[in-house]
Amino acid sequence: MTTAEIKAMATEYIMNTYGERSLAFVRGEEAYLWDADGKKYLDFLGGLAVNGLGHCHPNVVAAIREQAGKLLHISNLYYIEPQARLAKMLIDNSDMDQCFFCNSGAEANEAGIKLARKYTRDQGRDAYEIITMDNSFHGRTMATITATAQPKYHKGFEPMVPGFTYVPYDDLSAVEAAISSKTCGILVEAIQSEGGVNTPGSGYIEGLRELCDKHDLVLILDEVQTAMGRLGPLFGYQSYGIIPDIITMAKSLGGGAPIGAMLAKGQIAASFVPGTHAATFGGNPLVTAAACATVETILDENLGENAVKMGDYLEFKLMGLKDQYPIKEVRGKGLLRGLVLSVDANELAAKCIENGLITICTNDYILRFLPPLNITAAHVDEAVSIVEKSLAETV
């Protein structure tokens, strides 16, 4: 089918929740995509941080093929061998003690919110409120869009779920002022990706840990986009030198397969008992086999180290354009980066795609990059060359 044929069919039969779409991709390999009309693109969006190993990584493909020939799905009424292996791998490489598996980042955050409330009630405290940050993004379910402190996501879905309090990001005094006898936890992203690639200042994440310790609160770190080596360490919290109580993740965990996970410390994890939470597809054999291959590859090939090296190189190359174009700064860490412009970036993002680079505009003025962790300097050079060409054609 051609792009036009795919678009016509999708427009007629699929709800219009994603707006106007111009491309239909049919094949991917490493850092590249091809559309239905045969045009090649360099992918520096990575399926919104999902394709951490690029497209169709041979280790992930082999794991899926092998598992598909043995067992696609069995319910969580039974033990699942690749699920157990994945859980051990995640726990062995983190400071957490136990896992819960689900299907997405929103579900992982829902699980973290439920666990924080359940644990607090188990401790005999009638507290349920969770503090989240302005410009955050935690998912699309009713609880997670409420946790997302951006009014544009709330519009039309009111009333919101009770029990969430919003404060400015990167402001410890505002957090402390918001803590009350009803507060049970703090939910924060290691870096606010969708909210503008906002990186916390020195001491902020560490200060949240101290506030949680001081007030007996649960610290939930949303690592949906920052886990799996994107910031360097396997988990983003490890770059801040603290240990949260709960970590949520999804995106790159499955190498393209849909899987989410919520990890927690022992005493807190123990508050989930039979009947408190579940997910039919959560951690099924196929997706956990894919995730095992993904995590093994990230660790074996030291891709977190490459993410730091290539992220710094990407920043260096982009900042080299600053004298010629209206560029203010490059935000982020590792391979989560945002090119901040002093002019609207929506036209630039569209022009980059037209010129063969997949990226996205965030908050109108920021071009966001989430490339695979195994990109090379040659990929960065190619991407920046397209950005430069697109800047010349739009600003």
Distance CA 271, CA 368 (A): 38
Residue 191 near residue 236 (C-beta atoms within 8 A)? yes
Q: Give the tokens for residue 104.
A: 């997405």
Q: At what angle do helices 303-319 and 377-394 cross, to 10 degrees?
A: 30
DSSP classification of residue 43? E
Name the active-site residue from 44, 100, 101, 137.
137
Residues comprising the chain, all counted: 395
In sequence order, what E strands does the chain have? 25-29, 32-35, 40-43, 98-102, 129-133, 164-167, 183-189, 218-222, 246-249, 260-264, 327-333, 336-341, 357-358, 360-362, 366-369
Q: Across the strands, what pairs with 221?
A: 188, 247
Has 137 been annotated as catalytic? yes
Name the active-site residue from 44, 118, 170, 222.
222
Has 100 been annotated as catalytic? no
Spatial CA neighbour of 358 closest among 382, 329, 325? 382
Q: Give the tokens for residue 361.
A: 């505009």
Name the active-site residue from 118, 251, 333, 351.
251
Has 222 been annotated as catalytic? yes
Q: b/e string for 219-235 if b means 16 or more Cβ within 10 A? A: bbbbbbbbbbbbbbbbb
**Which amino acids are annotated catalytic?**
137, 222, 251
